[in-house]
Amino acid sequence: MRGKPAPKRPIAPDPRYSDPEVAKFINYIMERGKKSVAQSIVYSAFEIIQEKTAQDPRSVFAKAMKMVSPLLEVRSRRVGGANYQIPYQVRGERRFMLACRWMIEAARARKGKPMAEKLAAEIIDTSNGESASVRKKVDVQRMAEANKAFAHFARQ
């Protein structure tokens, strides 16, 4: 690797809730640099969550993120001519990124509604533990559990 790694820049909190996690989620939703569109999608989704659940949308969002954040994941490693799936613990930053990515993918996979409604439905379902993103997390965790026998390769 040439040079030094880029410094971690702090993310400014979002304008409505002044929450850095919501701001980061907005950045993950954003496509082609259109932040105002991403903000309107997320804020509309939060309003829909407020109407449907009668709870604070940030608490529902936080609960959903907690439900879908993986603790373990597998990475491929070549040892002696064979590829092994080795389980690793997931760092907090990556855990948040994976949770966001899986929730956004699952929301985009839903058909026939505007993105704000799909995102709201996905967040509500995830906080209740019954969505495609939660299934994705369970699959990843199951894969890591199945490959626990190869965990000793991680420490080489």
The pLDDT tens digits of the residues spanning 55-85 come to 999 999 999 999 999 998 888 888 888 888 8
Domain ranges of the chain: 20-155
Q: Kindly state the tokens that stand for 27.
A: 């950045």
Q: Is the four-CA dihedral 122, 123, 125, 131 of positive or negative sign?
A: positive
With a pLDDT cut of 90, the percent of the chain lying above it is: 70
Per-residue pLDDT, averaged over 133-139, amounts to 91
Instruction: Compute the CA torsion angle 115, 117, 119, 120 (nearest 10 deg).
Output: 160
Bridge-based pairing state of the strands 72-79 and 82-89? antiparallel
Query: What is the CATH number that goes with domain 20-155?
Result: 1.10.455.10
Q: Distance from first CA to last CA of the chain, Å, rounded? A: 21
pTM of the model: 0.88
pLDDT band at 153; cut points 50, 70, 90: confident
- 50 burial (CB, 10 Å; 0-12 / 13-18 / 19+) is middle
